[in-house]
Structure 1
C-alpha cells in the first residue's frame, strides 16, 4: 500500500491496542505501544531511500529484504529496544507483540498489490503479488480516516477499530472474489490463455489485464466480467545475438527482468550508430502507452553507453533521462 494508507492504518491499530488490558492500564506502556505501532507500520518501507541512489537499485530491492520473514521479527525487536531506552517502564512483551502486529500487517497488505513483496525471503526471492488491491485503494483509506475521525470525536477506540477491521476483512473477501471472477472472465475471452496478471485500479470494478497464451501476449481492460481487448503481440523468442546479451546484463535491464513477469522487447537502430534495446512491461497500459520500461543503448563496440528503467510517460522524458 502507499505511505498514506500505512500511516492511517498505524493510527487505527493504535486505537485497537486499548483492547489489551496491559496497554489500557499503563500510561508508559500505552505511549510506547502507540509509538511502536506507528513506527512499525512504516518501518518496512525504509528502503524507499534507495530511490535516492537510482531506479535500478530501488526497483530491484524495494519491498525486498525489508519485507522478508526475518525482517518481520527484526523490525519490532529494534523498535522495542529503542523505545525501552525512552520508556523503560513499558511492558516489553506487549510492546513487542503490538509492534510485531503492525509490521506483519504492513507486509500482509502489500502482498495484495500488483507490485507485491518478496515476503518469503530467505526461502525464495519470488515476488508475491496477488493483484487484488490497488496500491492506493480509496475505500480502504477512506474507511480508516472515517474511523479516526469517529475516535477523535470521543467514540470508544476499541469498538470503533474492531468494526473497522471487521469491515476491512469483509472488503478483502469481496475483492478476492471479484479478482477470481475477472480472471475467469479473461479465461473465457482469450483463447488458450495460460498466465494472467491483473492490476486493480482505483476504481472498484476496473482492472488492467495482461496475459499470455502459447503464441501471443494480450493486453486488455476489465470492467467487472466485461473484457475489452486492447493489444495483441506475437511472442518472439529472445534474440541470441551478442548485442542483446550485452544489453540485458546492464543493471537497469537486470532490475527490470527481476521484477516484470510479462514483457515484450524492441530492438532498433538510432542515431550516432547506437542500437536501442527496450523492454516493455505489459501490465500497466495507460493512455495508449506502456509507461514502465527498461532501455539500454549499445554502441558499435558492444558497450552500453546509456540506460534507464522506470516509469516514463513520454518519449521526450525518456530522452531526457538517457541524456
Structure 2
C-alpha cells in the first residue's frame, strides 16, 4: 500500500500494543514500541533505495527480497533490539522485537492484497504473487485507522478497545474483499469460458467495480465488471515471441525491457515508425485504464535497430488510476 497508510498502521499497531499490561505501564516501552512499529511498518519499502541505481533496478527489486519469506525474521531483531536499547526499554527487548515483527508482516500482507504484488515466497519461488483485492490506497481502511489514532491522541480513555475493534474489523474487511474478488473472478472466468488463472483484476478506489484482463489466447480482452455485468472495453493482441516485429525483437536485450519482462504478466507491444527510426513500447495490460496502459517500457531505435534510449515506469501521477 502507499507509504502514508503503512505509517498510519504503524501508529495503530502501537495503540493496539497498549493492550499488553507491560506496555501500558511503562512509558519507555511505549515509546520503543511506537518507534518499532513505525519503522517496521515501513521497513520492507527500504528497498526504494534501489531508485539510485535507476528505474530498471527499482522495478526488478522493489517488493522483492525485502518482502520475502525470511525478511520479517531479519527486520524484527535488526530494528527491535537497537530501538529497545535506545529508548531505555532493554528489559523488554523481545516485546519490542515481537511488535516489530507484527508491523513488518502486516506491511507484506497488505502489499500481497494489492494488484502490483510481492515476491513474498522467496527463496522458494521468485513468482510475483498478488491477490488483486485492494487498491494501493484504501479509503475505508485509512479512515478507520485514522479515527482510532485520533481518539488515542485525544486521550480517549477506552482507546485500546477501539484499536482492538478496528483490527478485528480490518481482518473481517480483508476477508470480505478477498471473497468478493473470488466471486467476481469466477463470474468473469465463466463468462469467457476459461480457467480463473487466465483472468486478472484491478479493484477501483471505492470498490464498486473491477477492471479486468482476460487472456483469450491470441488476444487480451479488457473491460469492467460492475453491477453484476461484464462490460468489455477492448481487445489487444498479445506480444507472442513468434509474431514479434524486428524492431521489437531488437529491444529484448535492453535493460528496461528485461526488467519489464521480469515483472509483467500480460504483455502487449506496439511498434511505431518515427522520423529517424522506431519507437517500441512494451505495456503491461493488467494496468490498463481508459484504453491507456501507464506501466510500460519504451525504447527508441535508429533505422539500423540500434537502441538510442529507453524508459521504464509509470506514465501517470501517483493519485491517478489505476491505484497500484
Same fold (TM over 0.5): yes
- Whether contact under 8 Å (2:248, 2:269) holds in the other structure is no
The structure-2 alpha-carbon separation of the partners of 1:14 and 1:313, relative to structure 1 and needing over 3 Å to count, comes to closer
Tell me the equivalent position of 1:10: 10
C-alpha separation between the residues in 1 aligned to 2:81 and 2:143?
A: 33
C-alpha separation between the residues in 2 aligned to 1:139 and 1:230?
A: 28
* Bigger mean CA offset, 6-15 vs 22-31: 22-31
Tell me the equivalent position of 2:320: none
- Whether contact under 8 Å (2:14, 2:34) holds in the other structure is yes
1:183 aligns with 2:185: yes
Structure 1-normalised TM-score? 0.90
Tell me the equivalent position of 2:258: 254
Cα offset, 1:236, TM superposition = 5.4
> How does 1:268-307 map onto structure 2 within 5 Å?
268-272=272-276, 274-307=277-310
Q: Secondary structure at the match of 2:290?
A: coil
Q: Secondary structure at the match of 1:41?
A: helix
C-alpha separation between the residues in 2 aligned to 1:230 and 1:172?
A: 29
What number of residue pairs does the alignment pair up?
313
Tell me the equivalent position of 1:210: 213
Query: Unpaired runs of 5+ in structure 1?
Result: 315-323
Tell me the equivalent position of 1:225: 228
What's the RMSD between the two structures over aligned residues? 2.0
* Bigger mean CA offset, 48-57 vs 286-295: 48-57
Query: Unpaired runs of 5+ in structure 2?
Result: 318-324
- Whether contact under 8 Å (1:10, 1:37) holds in the other structure is yes
Cα offset, 1:36, TM superposition = 0.7
Q: Secondary structure at the match of 2:133?
A: coil
Q: Secondary structure at the match of 1:294?
A: strand
Q: Secondary structure at the match of 2:286?
A: coil
The structure-2 alpha-carbon separation of the partners of 1:93 and 1:186, relative to structure 1 and needing over 3 Å to count, comes to same
Cα offset, 1:168, TM superposition = 0.9
Cα offset, 1:135, TM superposition = 0.8
- Whether contact under 8 Å (2:148, 2:163) holds in the other structure is yes
The match for 2:159 among 152, 157, 160 is 157
Cα offset, 1:53, TM superposition = 3.9
- Whether contact under 8 Å (2:300, 2:308) holds in the other structure is yes
Tell me the equivalent position of 1:318: none
Cα offset, 1:200, TM superposition = 0.8
- Whether contact under 8 Å (2:29, 2:84) holds in the other structure is no
> How does 1:33-112 map onto structure 2 within 5 Å?
33-90=33-90, 91-112=92-113
Cα offset, 1:14, TM superposition = 0.5
Cα offset, 1:28, TM superposition = 2.2
Cα offset, 1:134, TM superposition = 0.7
